[in-house]
Amino acid sequence: MTAPTPLLEAKGLVKRYGRVTALDHCDFDLLPGEILAVIGDNGAGKSTLIKALSGAIRPNAGEILLNGSPVQFDSPNDARAAGIETVYQTLAMSPALSIADNMFMGRELRMPGLMGKLFRKLDRKRMEDFSRQKLAELGLMTIQNIHQPVETLSGGQRQGVAVARAAAFGSSVVILDEPTAALGVKESRRVLDLIQEVRARGIPIILISHNMPHVFEVADRVHVHRLGRRLCVIDPKQHSMSDAVAYMTGAAVPEGVAEPV
């Protein structure tokens, strides 16, 4: 029985902040086409792990492999160039700018020919059409006003735009950090549907969440993070939510794992 090659893999990641070790020889793997949930108590090092994978921090030791070959991300732009898109908890959008402007922030398209080369004129139409198409693909818009400033959208709509941005440009991995934490029941539901729609298009997803029902509903595997490292990976079909919570809080130890002292 051979396991498929992980699409994104981390081996022995270490990150120290002064005397605090946030990541303690942490391993990680993401298989092609899956939704991997990352759960862990506050302070377990989930965010640090995600930041390392998305290029926001550089680990002190360890290596990250994308499609089996080692990569080094010095900035979020490096990770982005490799096709890893992240939806941050804060969404990283400019409220006063339009949906299309936000979708293309940092990777704007210019007009072809002289207008683009010499006057650096933006190709508004192309960017707007693309944004509209991407939002429509995810079933996000019924009536479309792509010029609307992001601040006029509801929390769920903003989240939707952020997910659409990540899905549009994330060719290999989409990372979602607590996408439903700030949303109501109905809006959370829509975002979970979105996540599955993105996965259906073949893009694997890393989902960080505290919401066990959501995790158990959509995840194929659950990475349990504890004390700066991966404690275990569980199959949500074989384990209950209580098991998962017990593992991540240290109340129980999964079989075959020695609890670090």
Partner 1 sequence: MASADPFEDVVKSRREEGFAEFEPTRKGLWGRFHEALHTTPALVPLIVLLAALVVFGVLLGGKFFSPFALTLILQQVQIVGVLAAAQALIILTAGIDLSVGAVAVLCSVLMGQITFRYGVPAVAAVPIGLAAGTAIGAVNGWLVSRIKLPPFIVTLGMWQIVLAVNYLYSRNETIRARDIETQAPFLQVLGTKFTLGGAVLTLGVVLMLAVVLGLAYALRSTAWGRHVYAVGDDPEAAQLAGVDRHKTLMSVYMLVGFICGLAGWVMIGRYGSVSPSATTGVIGNIQAITAVVIGGISLFGGRGSILGAFFGALIVGVFELGLRMSGADPQWTYLLIGVLIIAAVTIDQWIRKVTQ
Contact between 93 and partner 1 per CB under 8 A? yes
Query: What residues from 176 to 205 belong to the interface with partner 1 (CB under 8 A)?
Result: 185-190, 193
* Cα distance between residue 182 and residue 167, in whole Å: 20
Tokens of 135: 């939002």
Cβ–Cβ contacts within 10 Å for residue 197, how many? 15
Helices (H) and strands (E) in the chain, counts: 9, 10
Q: Please, which residue, 47 or 86, has the CB nearer to partner 1?
A: 86
Comparing CB distances to partner 1, the nearer of 80 and 229 is: 80
DSSP, collapsed to helix, strand or coil, labels residue 89 as coil
Please state, as a whole number, how many other Cβ atoms lie within 10 Å of the Cβ of residue 155: 12
The residues, any chain, with a CB within 8 Å of residue 4's CB and separated by 6 or more, are 31, 32
Q: Closer CB to partner 1, residue 6 or residue 55? A: 55
Minimum distance from residue 96 beta carbon to partner 1 (Å) = 5
Looking at beta carbons only, is 61 or 119 nearer to partner 1?
A: 119
What does the DSSP 8-state code read for residue 150?
A: G
**Of these, 172, 216, 227, 254, which contacts partner 1 (CB under 8 A)?**
216
221 binds partner 1 (CB under 8 A): no
- Could you tell me the smallest distance in angstroms from the CB atom of residue 202 to partner 1? 24
Alpha helices in 150-249 (DSSP H): 155-169, 185-200, 212-218, 241-249
Question: What part of residues 25-54 is at the interface with partner 1 (CB under 8 A)?
Answer: none
CB of residue 5 vs partner 1: minimum separation in angstroms? 27
The token duo for 123 is 């190709």
Give the residue with the Cβ less far from partner 1, 114 or 261: 114
Yes or no: say if 160 and 87 are a contact pair by the CB < 8 Å rule.
no
Q: At 167, is the secondary structure helix, strand, or coil?
A: helix
Rounded to a whole number of angstroms, the minimum distance from the CB of residue 16 to partner 1 is 23
If binding is defined by CB under 8 A, does position 95 make contact with partner 1? yes
Q: Is 247 an interacting residue with respect to partner 1 (CB under 8 A)?
A: no
Distance CA 188, CA 34 (A): 20
Q: Is 117 in the site for partner 1 (CB under 8 A)?
A: no
Among 42, 142, 255, 258, indicate the residue that binds partner 1 (CB under 8 A).
142
Q: Contact between 261 and partner 1 (CB under 8 A)?
A: no
DSSP secondary structure letters along 21-38: EEEEEEEEEE-TT-EEEE
**What residues form DSSP beta bridges with 66?**
8, 69
Please pick, from the candidates 5, 72, 133, 152, the single residue that binds partner 1 as defined by CB under 8 A. 152
Residues that bind partner 1 (CB under 8 A): 56, 76-77, 80, 86, 88, 90-97, 101-102, 105-108, 110, 119-122, 124, 140-145, 147-149, 151-153, 156-157, 160, 185-190, 193, 212-213, 216, 236-241
